[in-house]
C-alpha cells in the first residue's frame, strides 16, 4: 500500500528496512507542542488571508487542541509508518475532523515545518538553560559570600602558587557561567526568525502573511530567504557550541570537586545526596555526580561535531541527512540540563573545610610573591632583583624545613640587608589575600563587592 500522506506518486509501501531508517517519530515526537503551535498559527493565518474558511479554521484549531491533550495524557498512538510528528499529528487530526484537516498543509512543507518546530524547541531549551545557569550562579554567589575570607591555595600547573579565597574561586566560575548565559542569549537572538511559509524551498504562490505567523510564534521576523530557511541548522550548531563551552566549564569545576574531596586534600565534602559508596570498600565516598558531569562534555561536544559533519557537505536546500540533527541534539541538551541541575545541588550542599584549606594555603611557599612585592614596594628593589632575593629566601626556608614566615630576621638579613622586620606583616596567607585589592583581585573586600554585584544582577534579571 502506498503511504497516503505522500500522495499518489508511489505504488507500493516502503521496505521494512527503509521504514526503519526513515522514521523519526521515536524521537521527534518531543516536538509535539511546538508542532501543534506552529500548525495553529498557520491555520489562523490561512483563515485571515482567505485560504481557509472560518469554519474549517475553527475545526482545525479545535482538533489540534484535542491532539495535544491526547499526547499530554499519554493516550495518543504514534505510528512509525507515518514517519514523523508532523504526519502523525495530521493523520490524527483527519480522524477527528475529517476533510478540513487536508487543507492545513496548504502553503507549507514539512521542510519549513520542521525548521520552525526545531527553532521553537531550541529556543525553549535556551530559555531553560539560562534559568538553570543563573540558579547555579546564585548558589555560587551565596557560597562566595559565606567564604569571602576563607583562605585556600591558588594553583598554577596544579602546584601551589598564591593564596586566594574560596569565595574568589567560586566567583571565577560565576564569571565563566555569565559568559555562557551571554552566548546562549546571543544564539537566541540570531535564531529568532521564523522559517514558516518558506515551504519546500522556493516559497509559495499563495498570498500568505509570514509576518503574522512569525509574530504569533514569538519570532522577531520571518526569515528573508526561503532556501536558507529550510536548509539552515546554524541555530542548532550555535546552541550546541554554547552548550559545549558551558559543559566544559562544568567539567573543570567537577574535576576540582573530585580532587578537593579526596582524603589527600579534604577541602570539601560532597553531601550524601551526590555521593555513592563502593560494593567492596565500606569506607568509600565516591564523587560520582561530579565525575559524570565531567564526562558529559564528551556527549555534548560529540553532538556538535556530529552535526557539523552532517552539514558540511550538503548542497542547498533540504536533504534527508538533516534528519540526523535531532537525536544527538536532544541528547546533548538533556545532558547539559541534567548536569546543571546536579552541579547546582552539589554546590548548595557542599561542606567546605576551612581549616584544611588554610593549612594547605601556606604550604609550598605561597607567599613568596608577597615577599618579592614587599621588596619592590618597601625597599625600592627592582622586581627582577627582588625575584632573585625571594628565590634565595625560599631555598633557605627549604634548608631549615619551615615556611617563609618561619625564617628569622637574621636569615633574611644574611640574604639581603635591605629586609627588615616589617616583612613579617606580609608573609601570612591572611595578609596575602587581604593585600590583593586590585580590581578583580582575591581580597575579601573585593569578593564581597563582586558577589553583591552578581547577586543584584541575578535577582533582578
Just list the catalytic residues.
157, 278
Angle at 84 between CA 82 and CA 85, to 5 degrees: 110
Measured from the Cβ of residue 373, the count of other Cβ atoms closer than 10 Å reads 18
Q: What is the DSSP string of 25-67?
A: HHHHGGGHHHHHHHHHHHHHHHHHTTSS-HHHHHHHHHHHHHH
Query: What is the three-class DSSP state of 218?
Result: coil
Q: Is 116 exposed, middle or buried (0-12, 13-18, 19+ CB in 10 A)?
A: buried
Q: Which helix (H) or strand (E) holds 161?
A: strand 159-165
Helix and strand counts by DSSP (H, E) for the chain: 18, 6
Place of cell 491533550: 69
| Rounded Cα–Cα distance for residues 253 and 410 (Å) | 43
Q: Which helix (H) or strand (E) holds 164?
A: strand 159-165
On the CB side of 321, CA atoms within 13 Å amount to: 17
Beta strands in 175-321 (DSSP E): 193-194, 221-222, 268-269
| Rounded Cα–Cα distance for residues 402 and 356 (Å) | 18
Amino acid at each position: 500500500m502506498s503511504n497516503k500522506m505522500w500522495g499518489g506518486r508511489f505504488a507500493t509501501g516502503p521496505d521494512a528496512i527503509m521504514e526503519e531508517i526513515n522514521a523519526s517519530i521515536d524521537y521527534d515526537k518531543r516536538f509535539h507542542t511546538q508542532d501543534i503551535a506552529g500548525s495553529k498559527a498557520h491555520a489562523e493565518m490561512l483563515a485571515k488571508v482567505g485560504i481557509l474558511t472560518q469554519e474549517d479554521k475553527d475545526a482545525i484549531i479545535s482538533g489540534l487542541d484535542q491532539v495535544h491533550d491526547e499526547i499530554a495524557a499519554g493516550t495518543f498512538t504514534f505510528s512509525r509508518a507515518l514517519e514523523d510528528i508532523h504526519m502523525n499529528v495530521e493523520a490524527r487530526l483527519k480522524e477527528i475532523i475529517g476533510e478540513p484537516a487536508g487543507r492545513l498543509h496548504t502553503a507549507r512543507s514539512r521542510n519549513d515545518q520542521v525548521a520552525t518546530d526545531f527553532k521553537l524547541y531550541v529556543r525553549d531549551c535556551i530559555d531553560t538553560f539560562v534559568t538553570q545557569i543563573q540558579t547555579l550562579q546564585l548558589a555560587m554567589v551565596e557560597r562566595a559570600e559565606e567564604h569571602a575570607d576563607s583562605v585556600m591555595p591558588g594553583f598554577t600547573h596544579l602546584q601551589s602558587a598564591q593564596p586566594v579565597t574560596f569565595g574568589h574561586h567560586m566567583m571565577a566560575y560565576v564569571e565563566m557561567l555569565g559568559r555562557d548565559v551571554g552566548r546562549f542569549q546571543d544564539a537566541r537572538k540570531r535564531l529568532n526568525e521564523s522559517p514558516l511559509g518558506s515551504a519546500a524551498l522556493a516559497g509559495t504562490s499563495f498570498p500568505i502573511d509570514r509576518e503574522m505567523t512569525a509574530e504569533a510564534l514569538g519570532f522577531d521576523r520571518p526569515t528573508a530567504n526561503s532556501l536558507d530557511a529550510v536548509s539552515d541548522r546554524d541555530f542548532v550548531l550555535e546552541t550546541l557550541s554554547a552548550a559545549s563551552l558551558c559543559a566544559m566549564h562544568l567539567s573543570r569545576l567537577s574535576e576540582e570537586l573530585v580532587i578537593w574531596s579526596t582524603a589527600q586534600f579534604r577541602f570539601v565534602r560532597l553531601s550524601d545526596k551526590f555521593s555513592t559508596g563502593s560494593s567492596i570498600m565500606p569506607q568509600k565516598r565516591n564523587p560520582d555526580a561530579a565525575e559524570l558531569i565531567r564526562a558529559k562534555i564528551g556527549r555534548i561536544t560529540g553532538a556538535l561535531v556530529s552535526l557539523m559533519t552532517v552539514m558540511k557537505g550538503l548542497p542547498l536546500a533540504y536533504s534527508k541527512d538533516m534528519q540526523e540533527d535531532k537525536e544527538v541534539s536532544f541528547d546533548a541538551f538533556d545532558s547539559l540540563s541534567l548536569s546543571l541541575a546536579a552541579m547546582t545541588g552539589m554546590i548548595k550542599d557542599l561542606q567546605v573545610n576551612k581549616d584544611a584549606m588554610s593549612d594547605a594555603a601556606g604550604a609550598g611557599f605561597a607567599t613568596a610573591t608577597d615577599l618579592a612585592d614587599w621588596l619592590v614596594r618597601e625597599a625600592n628593589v627592582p622586581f627582577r632583583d627582588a625575584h632573585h632575593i625571594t628565590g634565595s629566601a625560599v631555598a633557605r626556608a627549604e634548608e631549615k624545613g619551615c615556611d617563609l614566615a618561619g625564617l628569622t630576621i637574621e636569615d633574611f638579613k644574611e640574604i639581603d640587608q635591605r629586609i627588615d622586620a616589617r616583612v613579617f606583616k606580609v608573609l601570612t596567607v591572611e595578609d596575602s589575600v587581604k593585600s590583593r585589592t586590585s580590581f578583580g583581585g582575591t581580597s575579601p573586600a573585593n569578593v564581597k563587592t563582586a558577589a553583591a554585584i552578581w547577586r543584584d544582577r541575578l535577582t533582578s534579571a
